[in-house]
């Protein structure tokens, strides 16, 4: 008995419990936090795998919200704070990135709301209350304000629509710029049925991106008219915004003045200047379909016009204002080899007997390509490259003028002729390249001192003896008055001819685009006016230029300004 008691006491002394009992209570982990924001429900819709899966999914969702702007970032900011409260313990490896997101989102959300942001907040907060067509209102916002939309904001708006219509809704988040790209693709249609298939694309753009307060932009209007003009002959004009510029990436054949573009040429769509000009070379008695801006009674409109293209040369002569951007340069480049070859034919060496032949070749080359000589750097370079070779020719030309402008001439003839020779080396030459005082040619109006410096210097050197006589040859007052009156008259006729041509061309363009009522008789009359005025203008300019060059230098500046005021300037065609 004693032994048993001893053993029991020993066991108790060693800490062995005498009998089993309830275990002592253990401390429990705190209950995991649950989402509190409405944004959580929108962003995790359809995610499976429990809260941890939602936490990991929201990392990508919050990354997609990084592009949010201003006040609309408040939704992503609320979601990021909720994530940190709910997911910090569940996915600690992702915390640092979310904390950085949260700070950035909160900063942006504190900004004052822009109109698009305020509109979205109203739609979300009031569930389209007061909107007659909730789905259309929200889709309109998503299109117009695509720069402000994010996946979270779009989903919240979709839910607003679903609550109204009672069915699943998806909002098209593409903005007007993306929809315009679809319009541009539709505008590439070449056949009527294909263009008709593109009409729904145009209507979708119009519904979403055009409103009384947001008229058609010029680029969008041109692209829409390209589809409509291909789908049907008659096309109503589109009211457009002010003078916004055409986008060259979407409208490659815009006119030089930016007021419209070529839609179709000879039944085909063309996407570049070179292909457009190549097509026109073989296009005879066919049609160009164009879009052009006009000022209407209620504001600017974009109209469709159809013009007969009898030939490339005749169309270019009749409608220089309808040249497309890059067209002159392309034409210059194509004509450059022929111009260079013509200049080489003018190199006749130092034989004075062949001087007239060489001068005639130079004049012919310049007259045929006078627009390029005036405006193309490539043509300027081609002339400079031939400068040294043409020195003997221009020296012979100067000698021929020295002989014609002899000291026995009256001051009334001597002085103006020498002034012209000093300013315009090809002045006073007839069509055969021979010196004839008073002769007028288109080539004579081109100033060559900068283009052929060595040749002009040789020409002037041959005349230097005559120039010394200028101090002894003085014009009478009456003669000076006659020169001034002649210059004023020539400038006035030049300006009148150019204005007449511009008016006739504008009338023909207005007829073609339906901006004014026209019948066949009016079209024929305006065409004749344009042809006549153009020929007069082309000759009136060199006459005015030579008359101005005849004046003494001290009188020339004022007379030149007067000519400009009269509308007399170098032809632009």
Please give the full DSSP string across 348-401, using - where no structure is assigned. Answer: -TT-GGGHHHHHHHHHHHHHHTHHHHHH-HHHHHHHHHTHHHHHHHHHHHHHHH
Confidence at residue 25, expressed as pLDDT on a 0 to 100 scale = 53
**Reported confidence tier of residue 572, pLDDT bands at 50, 70, 90:** low
**Reported confidence tier of residue 32, pLDDT bands at 50, 70, 90:** low
What is the average per-residue pLDDT within 526-543? 93
**Reported confidence tier of residue 7, pLDDT bands at 50, 70, 90:** very low
Residue 18 has pLDDT above 70, yes or no: no
429: helix, coil or strand?
strand
Confidence at residue 449, expressed as pLDDT on a 0 to 100 scale = 96
Residue 350 has pLDDT above 60, yes or no: no
What is the average per-residue pLDDT within 407-419? 94
318 in Cβ contact with 508 (< 8 Å): yes
What is the average per-residue pLDDT within 218-225? 97
Confidence at residue 352, expressed as pLDDT on a 0 to 100 scale = 66
Residue 496 has pLDDT above 50, yes or no: yes
Total residues belonging to the chain = 573
**Reported confidence tier of residue 343, pLDDT bands at 50, 70, 90:** very high
Confidence at residue 24, expressed as pLDDT on a 0 to 100 scale = 53
**Least confident stretch, 18-32, 258-272, 368-382:** 18-32
Percent of the chain at pLDDT exceeding 90: 69
**Reported confidence tier of residue 424, pLDDT bands at 50, 70, 90:** very high
Q: Which residue has the tokens 């006589």?
A: 469
Confidence at residue 17, expressed as pLDDT on a 0 to 100 scale = 43
Residue 61 has pLDDT above 90, yes or no: yes
**Reported confidence tier of residue 317, pLDDT bands at 50, 70, 90:** very high
What is the average per-residue pLDDT within 121-148? 81
**Least confident stretch, 3-17, 149-163, 182-196, 362-376:** 3-17
Estimate the crossing angle of helix 520-549 against helix 477-512, to 10 degrees. 150
Residue 529 has pLDDT above 50, yes or no: yes
Confidence at residue 555, expressed as pLDDT on a 0 to 100 scale = 86
Q: Supply 207's token pair.
A: 């519904």
Distance CA 201, CA 230 (A): 14
Q: Which residues of 390-406 are buried (b: 16+ CB within 10 A; e: fewer)?
A: bbbbbbbbbbbbbebbe
**Least confident stretch, 92-101, 121-130, 301-310, 435-444:** 121-130
- Higher pLDDT pick, 387 / 271: 387
Residue 399 has pLDDT above 90, yes or no: yes
SS3 letters for 149-203? Answer: CCHHHHHHHHHHHHHHHCCCCCCCCCCHHHHHHHHHHHCCCCCHHHHHHCHHHHH
What is the average per-residue pLDDT within 178-187? 95
Residue 258 has pLDDT above 50, yes or no: yes
**Least confident stretch, 12-26, 37-51, 85-99, 478-492:** 12-26
Domain definitions of the chain by residue range: 38-109, 115-165, 176-325, 348-411+424-467, 477-565
Confidence at residue 160, expressed as pLDDT on a 0 to 100 scale = 83
Confidence at residue 131, expressed as pLDDT on a 0 to 100 scale = 59
Q: Estimate to the nearest angstrom the gap between the alpha carbon of 117 and the chain centroid.
A: 31
What is the average per-residue pLDDT within 189-213? 93
Confidence at residue 137, expressed as pLDDT on a 0 to 100 scale = 84
Confidence at residue 547, expressed as pLDDT on a 0 to 100 scale = 93
**DSSP per residue over 558-573, as a string?**
HHHHHHHHTT------
Mean pLDDT, the chain, as a whole number? 89
**Reported confidence tier of residue 220, pLDDT bands at 50, 70, 90:** very high
Residue 11 has pLDDT above 70, yes or no: no
Distance CA 225, CA 230 (A): 8
What is the average per-residue pLDDT within 516-541? 93
Residue 178 has pLDDT above 60, yes or no: yes
**Reported confidence tier of residue 494, pLDDT bands at 50, 70, 90:** very high
Distance CA 457, CA 269 (A): 51
Q: Which residue has the tokens 């200049």?
A: 343
232 in Cβ contact with 238 (< 8 Å): no
253 in Cβ contact with 247 (< 8 Å): no
Confidence at residue 130, expressed as pLDDT on a 0 to 100 scale = 56
Residue 177 has pLDDT above 70, yes or no: yes
Residue 127 has pLDDT above 80, yes or no: no
Task: DSSP letter for 471, please.
Answer: G
Q: Which residues pair with 262 in a beta bridge?
A: 290
What is the average per-residue pLDDT within 224-229? 96
Q: Which residues of 272-282 are buried (b: 16+ CB within 10 A; e: fewer)?
A: ebeebbebbee
């Amino acid at each position: 008995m004693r032994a048993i008691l001893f053993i029991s006491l020993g066991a108790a002394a060693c800490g062995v419990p005498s009998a089993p009992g309830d275990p002592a209570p253990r401390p429990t982990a705190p209950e995991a936090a649950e989402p509190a924001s409405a944004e959580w429900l929108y962003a995790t819709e359809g995610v499976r795998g429990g809260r941890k899966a939602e936490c990991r999914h929201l990392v990508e969702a919050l990354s997609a919200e990084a592009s949010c702007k201003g006040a609309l970032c408040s939704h992503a900011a609320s979601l990021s704070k909720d994530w940190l409260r709910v997911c910090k313990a569940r996915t600690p490896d992702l915390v640092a990135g979310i904390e950085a997101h949260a700070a950035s989102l909160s900063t942006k959300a504190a900004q004052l709301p822009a109109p698009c942001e305020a509109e979205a907040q109203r739609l979300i907060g009031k569930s389209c209350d007061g909107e007659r067509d909730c789905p259309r209102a929200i889709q309109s916002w998503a299109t117009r304000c695509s720069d402000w939309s994010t996946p979270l904001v779009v989903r919240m708006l979709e839910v607003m629509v679903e609550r109204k219509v009672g069915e699943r809704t998806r909002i098209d988040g593409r903005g007007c710029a993306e929809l315009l790209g679809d319009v541009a693709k539709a505008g590439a249609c070449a056949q009527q049925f294909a263009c008709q298939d593109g009409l729904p694309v145009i209507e979708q753009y119009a519904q979403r991106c055009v409103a009384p307060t947001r008229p058609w932009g010029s680029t969008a209007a041109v692209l829409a008219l390209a589809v409509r003009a291909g789908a049907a002959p008659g096309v109503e004009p589109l009211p457009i915004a002010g003078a916004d510029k055409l986008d060259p990436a979407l409208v490659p054949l815009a006119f030089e003045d930016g007021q419209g573009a070529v839609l179709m040429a000879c039944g085909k769509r063309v996407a570049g200047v070179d292909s457009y000009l190549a097509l026109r070379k073989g296009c005879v008695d066919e049609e160009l379909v164009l879009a052009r801006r006009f000022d209407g009674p209620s504001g600017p409109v974009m109209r469709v016009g159809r013009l007969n293209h009898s030939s490339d040369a005749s169309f270019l002569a009749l409608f220089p204002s309808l040249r497309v951007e890059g067209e002159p340069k392309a034409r210059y480049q194509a004509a450059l080899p022929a111009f260079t070859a013509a200049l080489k034919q003018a190199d006749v060496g130092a034989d004075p007997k062949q001087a007239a032949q060489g001068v005639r070749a130079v004049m012919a080359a310049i007259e045929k390509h006078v627009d390029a000589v005036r405006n193309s750097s490539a043509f300027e370079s081609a002339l400079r490259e031939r400068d040294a070779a043409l020195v003997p020719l221009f020296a012979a030309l100067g000698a021929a003028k020295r002989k014609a402008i002899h000291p026995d001439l009256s001051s009334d003839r001597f002085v103006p002729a020498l002034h012209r020779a000093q300013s315009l080396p090809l002045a006073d030459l007839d069509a055969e390249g021979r010196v004839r005082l008073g002769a007028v040619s288109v080539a004579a109006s081109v100033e060559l001192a900068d283009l052929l410096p060595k040749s002009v210097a040789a020409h002037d050197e041959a005349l230097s003896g005559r120039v010394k006589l200028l101090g002894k040859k003085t014009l009478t007052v009456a003669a000076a008055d006659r020169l001034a009156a002649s210059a004023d008259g020539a400038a006035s006729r030049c300006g009148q001819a150019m204005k007449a041509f511009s008016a006739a061309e504008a009338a023909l363009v207005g007829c073609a685009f339906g901006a004014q009522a026209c019948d066949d008789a009016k079209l024929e009359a305006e065409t004749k006016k344009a042809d006549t005025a153009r020929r007069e203008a082309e000759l009136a300019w060199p006459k005015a230029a030579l008359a101005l060059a005849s004046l003494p230098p001290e009188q020339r500046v004022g007379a030149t300004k007067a000519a400009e005021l009269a509308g007399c300037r170098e032809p632009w065609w």
